[in-house]
Each structure stands twice: as C-alpha cells, then as structure tokens.
Structure 1
Amino acid sequence: MAWVAVSVSLGFVGLAVLAWCAFKVWLGVRRFGRELERTRRRLEHEHSALRDEVSRMERTRAPQPPEDGVRST
C-alpha cells in the first residue's frame, strides 16, 4: 500500500514541476512580447520614412516598355 502513496506523491510532484516550468515559460513569453512591442515602437519612424522613400522612388521612376522577361541560355 505504501507504493500507492509514493506513486501519488510523485505524480503531484511531477505536476508541480510542470506548473513551475509553465509559469517560467509564461513569464518569458510576456517579457518577449514587451520587448517586441518596444522594438516595434522604436522602429516605427524608420519604417514610415522608408515607405515614403520607396513611394517617392516609384513615382519618379521612368516607365519601362514591356519586354519578354528574363531569358536564360
């Protein structure tokens, strides 16, 4: 009968270890989400400036005649 108590106790200990690991993963994911949001806010200005530059370049580009595409030999 003692082996039943030991196995149940080990089962609870295993669940406690899994819960602790899940909590650590949850904290890491939350921290990673904050870091991503902070980086996104920091790069937002550069992203809009790059988008404006690309649209300006597209407006000033001379139209090219249609061709057959890329040919390989």
Structure 2
Amino acid sequence: MSWVPVAVSLGFAGLTVLACCSFKVFLGVRRFGRELERTKRRLGPKHAALRDELHDLPEPRAARSPGDGVPSV
C-alpha cells in the first residue's frame, strides 16, 4: 500500500511540471502577440503608402505578340 502515496506524489509533480511549462508558453504567446501588434503599428503607414502608390500606377499595357521582342537562342 505504500505505492499509493508515491503514485499520487509523482502525478502531482508531473502536473506541476506541465503547469509550469504551460505558463511559460502562455507568457511567450502574449509576448509574441505584443510584438506582432507593435510591428503592425509600425508597418501600417508604410503599407498604406505602398497601397496608394499601387493605385497611382498606370494600367498594364496590352500583351505583345510573341513575334515582338528578342528571339531566344
């Protein structure tokens, strides 16, 4: 019967290790989320400027026929 307290103690120790690892993962995910938000705020104006430049580009020209251009060797 002495194996019951040992098994319970090992189970509790295992749950403690899992809880500690889960907490570290939680903190890492939170930190990563903050980093993504900060990057999004920094790139937002540049993204908007690039999008505006794309709207200002002229329309693409019509495709040329294969006979136009440099022949391949």
- TM-score, length basis structure 1: 0.80
Amino acid at match of 2:8: V
Compared CA separation, residues 15 and 62, structure 1 to 2 (3 A): closer
Compared CA separation, residues 10 and 61, structure 1 to 2 (3 A): same
What residue is the counterpart of 2:56 in the other structure? 56
- Per the TM alignment, residue 5 of structure 1 is displaced from its structure 2 partner at its CA by 0.6
- Per the TM alignment, residue 63 of structure 1 is displaced from its structure 2 partner at its CA by 4.8
Runs of at least 5 residues in structure 1 that lack an aligned partner in the other structure? 68-73
- Deviating runs (4+, > 6 A) in structure 1? none
Runs of at least 5 residues in structure 2 that lack an aligned partner in the other structure? 66-73
Corresponding residue SS for 1:61: coil
Would you say how many aligned residue pairs link Structure 1 and Structure 2? 65
CA distance in 2, matches of 1:13, 1:63: 69
What residue is the counterpart of 2:16 in the other structure? 16
What residue is the counterpart of 1:36 in the other structure? 36
Richer in helix (by share):
1
CA RMSD of aligned residues (A): 1.6
- TM-score, length basis structure 2: 0.80
Q: Percent identity?
A: 62
